[in-house]
Amino acid sequence: MVFTLGFSISANIVKAQQPSVDSALMDRVSTLEQQIADQKPGESHFMVVGLATFGFVQSKTTYTPFGGPSQSVKTNSLGDADRYELSPMLLWRHGTKFLVEFEPSFDGNSLGVNWANITYFAAPGLAIHAGYFVLPFGIYNKRLAAGWIDKVASDPVGVDLPGTDFGIGVSGGMPLGNMKWSYDLSLTNGLQLLPDGEIQNAGIVDNNRNKTVTGRFALLPFSNSSLEIGLSGLYGCVADAGSNYNNAKTTMYGLDLSYVKTFKPILINLKGQYSRINVNGQNYIKPTDSSAYTFDNKTTSAFAQISIRPVTAGNKILKNLELAFRYVNFTTPGNSLWGQNYDEEDIGLDYWLTWRTVIKFTYAKTHSFSTANVSAGGVGGVTDTSNIYLQFSIQF
């Protein structure tokens, strides 16, 4: 009887505790299920991409001052400090709406950042982004500057502005009948006017209370998207707050073209860009005697490039070769401290090991005629340079 009574009491106690035990277990299971649901495959991805470039350059520079004898200097360098780069890009996608991009870069001298940006894909044809990014002006800086994309070893002179800046932007595109069009707009800190009339990026702390608007609109008139025509513009204040250049503003505009088409067995690739930088009239100070002087502060830059590759040739070696030619013109303001008329011709032969790995041999010849104000401290004369590049580039 005692055993029966004890068993009955124990059974009732266990039965009374069972609901609380089951409830705690179900709570834990529910929490784990929610954690697993938050980490569904395909919802979040981390990827490392980027590029690496290494090369050799041999240069000969001849400077002839106005009315003086010529002077020549020869140099050669392994690594090629102007074009050596290691830039891994870290990409993290959170769900289907957010993308985080971060690209540090080592150029042989310093460690910097090319890109640090967060993008929200709001709707089809609309992406909103914020951070540190390449401004939407022209096609070279944002699309062609990577070593494994560019067809010659050097960058065209004069395309560095407007460069990279801190701000917000929107971009996207959509069909237009049988055509397509795209847009890319940004609002950023802007540029800064230097005492000699040149402009540079202001950085993460804006130098005035105004912001700069930049945009590019592009049209792809053919259904196969082989041709793209782009129009770019920029407007903003470039004066430091409280400086003598309170009303200084810059206006930029540009036109670019891209055409890629196969005419068997040859693939033809055409790229071109023209841009103009205007800074409204200002009085500058001569470093030589501190007197005021002025000049028409307008700068133009342009490049045109063509490359051909026999992509459908039967010979494996021949089909991986690509011949490229590029012409560059860069004209800075006459009567300034940095005035010059600059011309460059590049010819290159590339061999593609894979679709994103290339060895480039480039010969470049440049000619620069100074239009600087010598009385203000500018340097007059003619500079001629010939460069030979051997470069390896890979995208990873």
| Rounded Cα gap, residues 185 and 383, in angstroms | 39
Six-digit token pair at 25? 């277990």
Domain for residue 14, yes or no? Answer: no
Q: Which residues contact 129 (CB under 8 A, 6 or more apart)?
A: 117, 118, 119, 120, 168, 169, 170, 171
237, 210 in Cβ contact below 8 A? yes
pLDDT in tens, 255-266: 999 999 999 899
| Rounded Cα gap, residues 259 and 269, in angstroms | 6
pLDDT at 31: 62
- DSSP assignment of 308-369: EE-TT-SSHHHHTEEEEEEEEEEEPPTTSTT-EEEEEEEEEEEEEEETTEEEEEEEEEEEEE
Closest CA to 131 of 98, 96, 82: 98
* One-letter identity of residue 102: F
Residue with tokens 């008139």: 221
Structural domain span for residue 353:
46-395
| Rounded Cα gap, residues 224 and 234, in angstroms | 30
Domain for residue 20, yes or no? Answer: no
Q: Which of 195-199, 299-303, 376-380 has the highest mean pLDDT?
A: 299-303
Is the pLDDT confidence value at 364 over 90? yes
Of 241 and 140, more confident: 140
Domain count of the chain? 1
What mean pLDDT do residues 19-41 have? 56
Domain for residue 60, yes or no? Answer: yes
Residue 12's H or E segment, with its range, is: helix 2-38
pLDDT at 305: 97
What mean pLDDT do residues 318-338 have? 96
| Rounded Cα gap, residues 226 and 260, in angstroms | 5
pLDDT in tens, 178-230: 899 999 999 999 999 998 899 999 888 888 889 999 999 999 999 999 999 99
pLDDT at 2: 43
pLDDT at 68: 84
Q: Are strands 298-309 and 321-331 parallel, antiparallel or unpaired?
A: antiparallel
pTM of the model: 0.84
Domain for residue 203, yes or no? Answer: yes
Of 34 and 392, more confident: 392
Assign 3-class secondary structure to 126-192.
EEEEEEEEECCCCCHHHHHCCCCCCCCCCCCCCCCCCCEEEEEEEEEEEEECCEEEEEEEEEECCEE
Q: Residue 277, Cβ neighbours under 10 Å: how many? A: 23
Q: Among the listed ranges 83-87, 170-174, 320-324, 384-388, which one has the minimum average pLDDT value?
A: 83-87
Evaluate the CA torsion angle 318, 320, 321, 326 in order and state its sign: positive
CATH number of the domain encompassing residue 93: 2.40.160.10
| Rounded Cα gap, residues 223 and 256, in angstroms | 19
What mean pLDDT do residues 21-25 have? 56
pLDDT at 26: 61
* One-letter identity of residue 184: D
The chain-wide mean pLDDT, for the chain, equals 88
* One-letter identity of residue 318: L
Domain for residue 1, yes or no? Answer: no
Domain for residue 93, yes or no? Answer: yes
Domain for residue 150, yes or no? Answer: yes
| Rounded Cα gap, residues 105 and 162, in angstroms | 19
What mean pLDDT do residues 59-84 have? 87
Q: Among the listed ranges 22-26, 136-140, 192-196, which one has the minimum average pLDDT value?
A: 22-26
Position 21 confidence tier, pLDDT thresholds 50, 70, 90: very low
Position 11 confidence tier, pLDDT thresholds 50, 70, 90: very low
Domain for residue 32, yes or no? Answer: no
Position 243 confidence tier, pLDDT thresholds 50, 70, 90: confident
Position 16 confidence tier, pLDDT thresholds 50, 70, 90: very low
Is the pLDDT confidence value at 17 over 50? no
Position 9 confidence tier, pLDDT thresholds 50, 70, 90: very low
Position 24 confidence tier, pLDDT thresholds 50, 70, 90: low
pLDDT at 309: 96
Q: Tell me the C-alpha to C-alpha distance, in Å, between residue 268 and each of 129, 138, 180, 224, 323.
A: 34, 21, 21, 15, 10
